[in-house]
Structure 1
Amino acid sequence: MPRSAPTVLTTIFAAIAVLGTSPASADVQAAGCDAAAAGYTTALQLNLPTSANWLNTTPPYSLNNTAAIGSNFDRVGYCLELNGPKGVQWVWTAMAPFTSDARRLGLQTATGQIFRQQVGDLEVASNVAGVTTGTGQTGYVEMWPNQYSGSASGQVPNASASAYDADDSPTTVLGHGSFQIHQIGATKPSTVPAKPVLSINRFTESASDVLALGIGTNTTGAPDWTLTDNAATYTQRKLTVYARPSLVKLTEMPQDLKLIPRDSENGANPVVAGEVTAAGVDQVELRVTGHGETQTFTAPASAPFRFTPRILAGLWDYTFELKAVGPAIDRVVAKRTGIVSGDVYVVQGQSNAEAAKRTGAANVEESPYLRSFGSSNAESAISGADRVWHYATGDVTQQSGSAGQWAIRMGRRIVDTYGVPVALFNGSHGGKPVSFFQRNDTTPNDLTTNYGRLRSRLQASGVLSKVKGVLWYQGEAESDNASVHISGFTSLLADWRTEMSAAKYFVYQVRTSPCNNTTTVNLREAQRKLGDTHNVTLLSTTGLSGHDGCHYAYADGYREMGDHAFAVLARDLYGGPSAGVAPPNPASVTKSGTTLTVKLRSTDPLTVDSGVGADFRLVGSTVTVTSVVYQADGSLRLTLSGTPTGATALVYQGHLKAGPWITNATGAGLLAFSLPI
C-alpha cells in the first residue's frame, strides 16, 4: 500500500505545502492536444510541481473556469504534457463525462471525492509508444485522494489481482492520491489488455514526497507509475482539463450497464428526457439498438423532449445514442451502452452471505448479464461515492460489484436457465449481530449504518421498490441467543417489507451459532419456525461438506448453496419444478417402544447417509440413535439403543464440517430442529 498509515496521519495534520515547482523551460509543444481539443473549453490548467500535499485543499490551478462551466458540458478531455529524459511526451484523451460538476474534473483532493468506474467513448492520441490511439474505446478512471492497494475489484478485465495497475482499491486512509485514466476492454470477458493512458499520483501526501507521473504503461515498475516518484526527472509537467459545451441538457437517461427491472410484460420503458440549450439545433434524435432491431425517435428543439423506448428482457443489451441535429450540427451528445432489463435480488447477512473466496474460485460464474450497483464497502465515504452500475463479481468482497460466491452462482443459474439478466445487491458484513443491520428510522439512508448504505444503493439505482427477492444468512454472531435474533430479524423484516414490498423473502438456517459449535440448536430451531410465523421461505445449510466449522469452500459449499437457492427461486418465482426442492423439514416426533418416527412436511424421497444417527440426541434420556431409515410415507424411522425413558424432545443438530447427511434430490439437507416427543 502506498505510504504507511502512521505517516499519513502525520501528513493530515501537517501544514499544506507545495514544493519544487517546475523550473523555467520551453513549453512542451503538444500540437496533437491543441487539434483534438478544438470545440472544447479549457476548464483547468495546472503546472505540476515535483512535490505537493493538496489534501482537502484545491490545487493551485493557473486557470480555473469550472464555476463558469458549471454543468454545461457533454464531454471531457485531458492533456498531459511532459518534457524529460525521453524528450517531449504528450497524451490527449477524451471521454463521456463521469460527473456533471465541472469542479470535479480535476485532481480529487477532498475526503469522499472518489471516481472509480468505466467511462465510454474513449478517444486517445499520443506520441508515446505503446499507447493505443483511436476513438470508440472504453476507459476506466481511478481518481481519489486516498491511499490505495493493488487489490482488484474485478471490474477491469485482464487487470492484475494484486499489482498497481488499472484496477486498484482506495483504502479508508487518506494521503497519497491517484489520478489515472486507463484503456480497458468494453465487456467481461475481453481480450483487450488493460493499459494506463495517463497517471498522476502522490499529490495528497507529504509536501516533501515526490509525485509519480507517466504516460502509457510503466515498464520498469508498477504499470500505473505508482511509487515511481519521478516528477523531478521532468523539466515540465502540465495538466490541462477541457470540457465540451453541451447542446442539450439531459434530465434523465440510463447509465451504462444499467439493469432496469422488468415489468409483467417482460420488459421496461427507460426514459430519456431533457431540453435543447443551444442555438442552431433543430431537433434531437434518439436511436436505440438491441435485440436485432433499431428504434428511432425524434423531437423538435422548441420544447422539452421525453422518449420512452421499449426494451425487452433477455440475453442481449441495448445502446442508446442521442444526437442533436441542425443545419450545421450533427453531434452525438450522449451515448449509453450495455443497458438490459431483468430481475433484482438482495443478499444480506454475515460473512456467509458475503461468501468471499476461501477455497476455490467462483469467477467462472460471472456473466455480462450479471450486474450490480455501487459498493458494499463499509466505509461510508467509499460506499457513498460509488453510484454507478458494475458487473457483478463473485470472489471479492467490500468492492464495487461484489456479490459473493453463492449469489453469483445462483444468479448465473437464473441467467442460463431462464434467459433473464440479474442484478445482485450484496450488503453483507462479516461477524456482525442482527442489531448491526437495523434501520435508522429517522434517516433511512444514513451511510454510517449498514441499512443506509444498502438502501441508498437500491434507491439511487431506481430499484428499491422493485426487488424480486431478498436472501438472508445471519445468526452466528448471536451465539444461540434465539430471542435476540428473532426480535432483531422481526424488526428488520418489517422495515424491508415497507420498502421492498414486491419482494419474496428467503431465510437460511445457519449451520452453527456460534461458529464451530453444532450442539447449540435454540437459535436454529427459532429460525426453522420463521417459515410458519413470518411468512418467509427457509433454506438449509446442512448437506454441504465443504465446511470448515464456520465458512465454506466453493466446491461442496457455496457452489451448492447457490444451486439450492436457485432451485427454490425457480420454483417460487419462475414456475420451475417443485419436487425435491424444499429442504426436509420435520412436522412432529412420536415414539413407539425403542423407535421414534419423525414425520416430515413433504413426501420427497430422501437419501440417508450411514452414521447420521450420531447427529441426533434425545433430551432427558441417555439412549442413542443407532440407525435412521427414510420411509416412503414421508417420515424418518429412528431406531434407539433402548427405551427412551424420560425423553422429552428430539434434537437434530446437523454435522460440523463434512457429513454424513440426510438430503433431498437437490442435495438440500434436513433442517436442524428440536421437537417435543
Structure 2
Amino acid sequence: MPRSARFRAFLTTILTTAAVLGAAPSSSTAATTAPAAAGCDAAAAGYTTALQINLPTSASWLNTTPPYTVNNTAAIGSNFDRVGYCLELNGPQGVQWVWTAMAPFTSDARRLGLQTSTGQIFRQQVGDLEVASNVAGVTTGTGQTGYVEMWPNRYDKVASGQVPNASESTYDADDSPTTVLGHGSFQIHQIGATKPSSVPAKPVLSINRFSESTSNVLALGIGANTSGAPDWTLTDNAATYTQRKLTVYARPSLVKLTDMPQDLKLIPRDSQNGANPAVAGEVTAAGVDQVELRVTGHGETQTFTAPASAPFRFTPRIEAGLWDYTFELRATGPGIDRVVARRTGIVSGDVYVVQGQSNAQAAKYAGAANVEESRYLRSFGSATVESSLSGPDRVWHYATGDITKQPGSAGQWAIRMGRRIVDTYGVPVALFNGAHGGKPASFFQRNDTTPNDLTTNYGRLRSRLQASGVLSKVKGVFWYQGESESDNAAVHISGTTSLLADWRTEMTTAKYFVYQVRTSPCQNTTTINLREAQRKLGPSHGVTLLSTTSLSGHDGCHYAYADGYREMGDQTFAVVARELYDGPSAGVAPPNPASVTQSGNTLTVKLRSTDPLTVEAGVRADFRLVGSTVTVSSVAYEAGGSLKLTLSGTPTGATALVYQGHLKSGPAITNATGTGLLAFSLAIS
C-alpha cells in the first residue's frame, strides 16, 4: 500500500474512534499506532491496534513475549468490547489476507496475541464472528459462530466433541492440547452455532509451531489447507512466504460490564420455573445517552433501558424450557448505535453432579452414546486431571457422552439420564462430571484449607461449580465408587461419610444418590462386605440407593452402552423422576430386602416394597448361605413383596443369606423398570 494510502487509513481509524467515543478519549487514544494491513483497512475502522508482528520463519517463544513491533496492550487494558485479527501473507498464491473479528474471549488485552506462556489456553466457542478475505473457500460475512484454539502446548487429534463436523482423525478445528509444552497453536475457525449443525468446521486463519524450537519452521495459512491437515499443522511452510504479518485489534469500549451471562450458560431454575440473570455495568464513554437490553427467546423480546448517567442493572426473566435466549446490549446516543455485547444460547434448567471412579466417568467401552447429545444438555469447564488444562477452562460447553477428560465430558449413562429429563420434562440440564477412574474414596476428599485446590479432585470439581455460579444450586449428586477399596467396607464408608458431609455444606439443595457397585474389586462378585455397607447407606446417611445388578452389558468391571450404561441411565432417570419431578413411583426403587426368615428347607426374603418382580432362570446360583453347604434350588417371587427360596436341604448352621449378583452377563431379579435386586448379606432368623 502506498504511504499516502496507509496514512489515510490510519487517519480514518483515529477519527472514527474519536467520533464514537466523543470528547472523552480512552487510554488507547495515546497508544502507539500502526497502519492496518491492506485488505483489512475498512473492517478495522474504529479499532485500535493492540499488537503487530512480522512473523519469522521459525520461533521459540515459549514463556517469552514475542517481539511485537507494536504493543499497546498495557494502554488498552480491559477497555475493549470486540477483538479483530488481520493476517497478511505474500507467497506462491500472491498476496493473501483475512480479517476476522468477534466477541472477546478475554478481558485482558495482553492475552489477545500468541499464547506463549504455561497455562495460557483458549479453547472455546466465540460469538458474532465476522470474516472478510480474498482467499477462496473462506466463508465471508457477519453473524457467524467461531471457535478458537490458542495455546503454547503440543496437541493431538483427539476431538473434544464441542465442534460439530470436526474430525477425530486429523488436525482441524477440534484438537486437544497436551500437558507437554512446545509447539503452539493460534487458530480461529468457522463452525456451526449449535449441535448438530450442517455447517462445516473450517479454519479462518492458523499460525502454528511458534513455541517449539528455532530449528522448526512455522506452519501457517489462511482458510483450509487442501493438501494436508486443514489447520496447516506440520506443513512447516513459513519460508514460502515473503511477508507474514499478524495485526491484532481491540475496539474501545463504550460500556464496562460487571455482569452478563456467558454464551451457552445454563442458569439454575427457581421454584417458579425460571431465573433472573443479571446484566450490569456502567457507561464509560461520552456521547452515550442510554443503554438498551433486548432479551429474545420463547417467542418474545423483552426490552429494558437505562440512562447513561448512573450504573445500570437489569434482571430479565427467562423461563425454563426447550428454547434458548439471546441477550443483546446496545449503547445509543447522537450518532451512536452499537451492540456492545451479545450472548447466545442461554437457558434455565437443572444441574447434576456425577462423581466417583471409572463407572462414573462412563467412557465409551463398546457402543456410542452420542445420539443422546442435545443442544439442551450443557456442561462447564473440563474434567481432566491436569490442572494446567482444566484450570484455564472457565466457559460453558455442550455436554458429550462418549469422550472423557475433555471440555463438556459427562459420561454415557449421565448423558442418557440427562436426555431423558430433557425429552420427558422439557427442562435443560447441566451435567458436571468430576470422576476419575481407579481411585479410592480418599482421592476425592476436600482440602479444607483450600477447597478450590486444583491439585485435588475435589478442588477441580468445586472450582468449576463455583465459577459457573451453580455450586449452591445443584439439584442432584451421583456417587459411583468402591471398586478400588477391594471390599474394605470401613475405608469406603469412612470416605463416603466425609465426602457427603462436605458436599452438604456446599451443595445444600441437592438430593444425593449412591450406586451399589457391581464388583469390589473388579472381576469379583463374591465379596459382599462393601456392597452390604453401601446398601445400608440409605437410612443411615439419607441417600437414595441405585442398583447395577441387572445390567447384562457388564464386562467384569465396566459396561457396554447397550444393556449397560444406557440402561443405567434409564434406571437412574426413573428414580430421579420419582424423587425430583413427581414422576411414577411404582416399580422404580431398586428391590431391597428387609429380613430373611427360615422355615424348614425354605427361606423367605421379605422386601421393603410390594412392587412385583421378575425372577430370571438361573438366578439361584447367585445366592449362597454362610455357615452351611446347603444350596439354593429355586427362587420365586410371591405377591405382597417376598422372595421364596427353596433349599437343597435343611440349612443347619447357616447364619446369613448372601445375594452377590452375577459377574458379567447373567440372570437377575428385576422390577418393572428392569432395576435389579440390591446385593445383600442378611442374618437368617
Taking the aligned partners of 2:44 and 2:381, their CA distance within structure 1 comes to 32
Q: 1:289 maps to which residue?
A: 296
Find out whether 1:53 has 2:80 as its counterpart: no
**Which of residues 333, 337, 348 is equivalent to 1:330?**
337
Q: Among residues 441, 450, 466, which one is paired with 2:457 in the alignment?
A: 450
Equivalent AA in structure 2 for residue 612 of structure 1:
V
**What are the equivalent positions in structure 2 for 1:254-293 lying under 5 Å apart?**
254-293=261-300
3-state secondary structure, aligned to 1:589:
strand
1:156 counterpart residue number: 163
Moved over 4 A (4+): 27-30
- Residue 236 of structure 1 deviates from its aligned partner by 1.0
Q: Distance in 1 between matches of 2:62 and 2:551?
A: 49
Root mean square deviation, CA, Å = 0.9
How far 1:28 moved relative to its partner?
Answer: 12
Distance of 1:425 and 1:483 partners within structure 2: 28
Matches within 5 A, 1:112-511: 112-511=119-518
Are 1:569 and 2:576 matched, yes or no? yes
1:92 to 99, 123, 140: 99
Task: Supply the AA of the counterpart residue of 1:121.
Answer: D
Structure 2 CA distance, aligned partners of 1:317 and 1:280?
A: 33
Secondary structure at the residue paired with 2:665? coil
Q: Judging changes above 3 Å, is the alpha-carbon distance between structure 1 residues 137 and 553 closer, same or farther for their aligned structure 2 residues?
A: same
Distance in 2 (alpha carbons) for counterparts of 1:591 and 1:144: 68
Q: Within 5 Å, which residues of 2 pair with 1:601-640?
A: 601-640=608-647
The CA deviation string for residues 470-509 of structure 1, in whole angstroms up to 9 with x for no partner, is 0010000111100000000100000000000100000000
- Find out whether 1:102 has 2:139 as its counterpart: no
Alpha-carbon offset, residue 207 of structure 1? 1.8
CA offsets 1:120-170 (integer angstroms, 9 cap, x no match): 000000010000000000000000011111100000000002211000001
Match of 1:52, SS?
coil
8 Å CA contact 1:89–1:128 kept in 2: the answer is yes
Provide the C-alpha distance between the structure 1 equivalents of 2:486 and 2:520, rounded to a whole number of angstroms. 5
Letter in 1 for 2:649: G
Please give the alpha-carbon distance, in whole angstroms, between the structure 2 residues aligned to 1:300 and 1:398.
46
Q: Displacement, 1:654?
A: 0.3
Distance in 2 separating the partners of 1:186 and 1:487: 46
- In the TM superposition, residue 259 of structure 1 has moved relative to its aligned partner by 0.4
- Tell me the distance in 1 between the aligned counterparts of 2:584 and 2:277: 33
1:78 aligns with 2:113: no
In structure 1, the residue matched to 2:549 is 542
Give the conservation status (yes or no) of the 8 Å contact 1:28–1:88. Answer: no
2:472 partner SS: helix
Other structure's SS at 1:385 match? coil
Q: How far, CA to CA, are the matches of 1:473 and 1:502 in structure 2?
A: 20
Counterpart of 1:288 in 2: which secondary structure? strand
- The secondary structure found in structure 2 opposite 1:113 is coil
2:628, 2:465 → 1: CA distance?
51
2:3 paired residue number: none
Is the 8 Å Cα contact of residues 189 and 203 (structure 2) preserved in structure 1? Answer: yes
Tell me, which stretches of 5 or more residues in structure 2 are unaligned? 1-33
After superposition, the C-alpha distances for 1:269-295 in whole angstroms (9 at most, x for unaligned) are: 000000000011000000000001110
Distance 1:122 1:102 in 2: 18
Query: TM-score by structure 2 length?
Result: 0.94
Whichever residue aligns with residue 312 of structure 1, its letter is E
Aligned partners of 2:479 and 2:623: how far apart in 1? 26
**Contact in 2 for aligned 1:28/1:81 (Cα 8 Å):** no
Contact 1:130 1:216 in 2 (8 A): yes
Shift of 1:32: 2.3
2:292 alignment partner AA? E
Supply the distance in 1 between the matched residues of 2:500 and 2:153 (Cα, whole angstroms). 36
Amino acid at match of 2:327: F
1:580 paired residue number:
587
1:629-677 CA deviation, whole Å, 9 max, x = no partner?
0000201000111111110010000000001010000010000000111
- Asked if the contact 1:37/1:242 (under 8 Å) is kept, the reply is yes
Shift of 1:597: 0.6
TM-score normalised by L of structure 1: 0.96
CA deviation digits over 1:201-224, x for unaligned, max 9? 011111211110010000111010
Shift of 1:29: 9.2
Q: Secondary structure at the match of 1:626?
A: strand
Query: Counterpart amino acid of 1:572?
Result: E
SS at match of 1:561: helix
Shift of 1:614: 0.3
Aligned with residue 658 of structure 2, among 646, 651, 663: 651
Aligned to 2:14: none
**Aligned partners of 1:429 and 1:223: how far apart in 2?**
33
For 1:460 and 1:30, the matched residues in 2 are separated by 38
Q: State the alpha-carbon separation in 2 of the partners of residues 225 and 218 from structure 1.
A: 6
Q: Could you tell me which residue of structure 2 aligns to residue 13 of structure 1?
A: none
Is the contact made by 1:384 and 1:447 (CA closer than 8 Å) also made in structure 2? yes
Once the 2 structures are TM-superposed, how far is the Cα of residue 50 of structure 1 from its aligned partner?
0.7
Contact 1:28 1:236 in 2 (8 A): no
Note the C-alpha offset of 1:180: 0.2
1:380, 1:453 within 8 Å by CA — same for their partners in 2? yes
Contact 2:121 2:389 (8 Å CA) reproduced: yes
CA contact (8 A) 1:142 1:181 kept: yes
Shift of 1:381: 1.1
CA distance in 2, matches of 1:109, 1:656: 51
Aligned partner of residue 492 in structure 1, secondary structure: helix
User: Once the 2 structures are TM-superposed, how far is the Cα of residue 556 of structure 1 from its aligned partner?
Assistant: 0.3
The answer for the alignment partner of 1:111 in structure 2 is 118
Deviation at 1:34, TM superposition (A): 1.3
Matched position secondary structure for 1:396: coil
Match of 1:21 in 2: none
Tell whether the 8 Å contact from 1:46 to 1:60 is kept in structure 2 after alignment.
Answer: yes
SS at match of 1:187: coil
Q: Is 2:36–2:44's contact at 8 Å kept on the other side of the alignment?
A: no
Residue 31 of structure 1, CA deviation: 2.7
